[in-house]
Amino acid sequence: MRQQTNLVTWLLNNVLIAQFTNTTGFTSGDLLIGYNDAFASIGGIDNFAIFDNLRVETAVPDYDNDGLLDQWEIQFFGSLSADPNADADGDGLSNYHEFLAGTNPTNAASLFKVVGAARTASDIAVTWTAVGGHSYVVQRATNAAGSFLDLSPVLSEAGTGESIKTYTDIGGATNNATFYRVRLGS
């Protein structure tokens, strides 16, 4: 059984058994599967049904198949109508990219970006905006058009809020030209 918005669907072995619109205020809780013979029929106390091998599945988290989790869309947009390609807050990142980064798509100050690189002696410290529960990898290349290679291990950010994270490339300033970027970790 599953409920998508107010449409309740019952499937057995992927075959549609029943479907109805839930017009009650009850939208979550326990499921009761039973049998009711609503017709006057011959039969008695021994009429019953047995349900075997019942499987309860977690609801699909993206019913509209737009790449954005429904819970995230409802949290930030109040409905499932968010366009993944739109940039709701005008910060240069699409709603889809904000979803992946864990940033707030309705706040232009909340975005995943490198905010600086500073030289300290022969080292380079790369700083970026981070979100708790996400991970990052700092990458380096010797020219802007070259291949970026992972420099750091996967760096996990604890917590749930937004913060600034820094990784130091030891000896990075000794190279003639070095370019840095930060990608989301896996």
12 phi and psi angles, rounded to 5 deg: -125, 120
Contacts of 152 (CB under 8 A, 6+ apart): 136, 137, 138, 167
Count, residues in the chain: 186
CA atoms within 13 A on the CB side of 134: 23
pLDDT of res. 54 = 60
Contacts of 86 (CB under 8 A, 6+ apart): 94, 95
Q: What is the DSSP string of 88-112?
A: TTSSS--HHHHHHHT--TT-TT---
pLDDT of res. 34 = 61
On the question of pLDDT at 69 being above 80, the answer is: yes
pLDDT of res. 32 = 60
Query: CA 31 to CA 10: how far, in whole Å?
Result: 11
Q: Which two three-digit tokens encode residue 132? A: 């708790």
Residue type at 29?
A: G
* Local structure of 35: helix, strand or coil: coil
pLDDT in tens, 141-158: 988 887 999 999 999 998
Average pLDDT over residues 100-129: 95
pLDDT in tens, 24-68: 776 666 556 665 566 666 666 666 565 665 655 555 688 888 999
pLDDT of res. 10 = 73
pLDDT in tens, 101-110: 999 999 999 9
Query: CA 168 to CA 111: how far, in whole Å?
Result: 22
Burial of 63 (0-12, 13-18, 19+ CB in 10 A): middle
pTM for the full model? 0.66
pLDDT of res. 149 = 94
pLDDT of res. 17 = 74
Mean pLDDT of the chain: 83
> Tokens 């699409």 map to which residue?
94
* Local structure of 68: helix, strand or coil: coil
CA atoms within 13 A on the CB side of 125: 8
pLDDT of res. 88 = 94
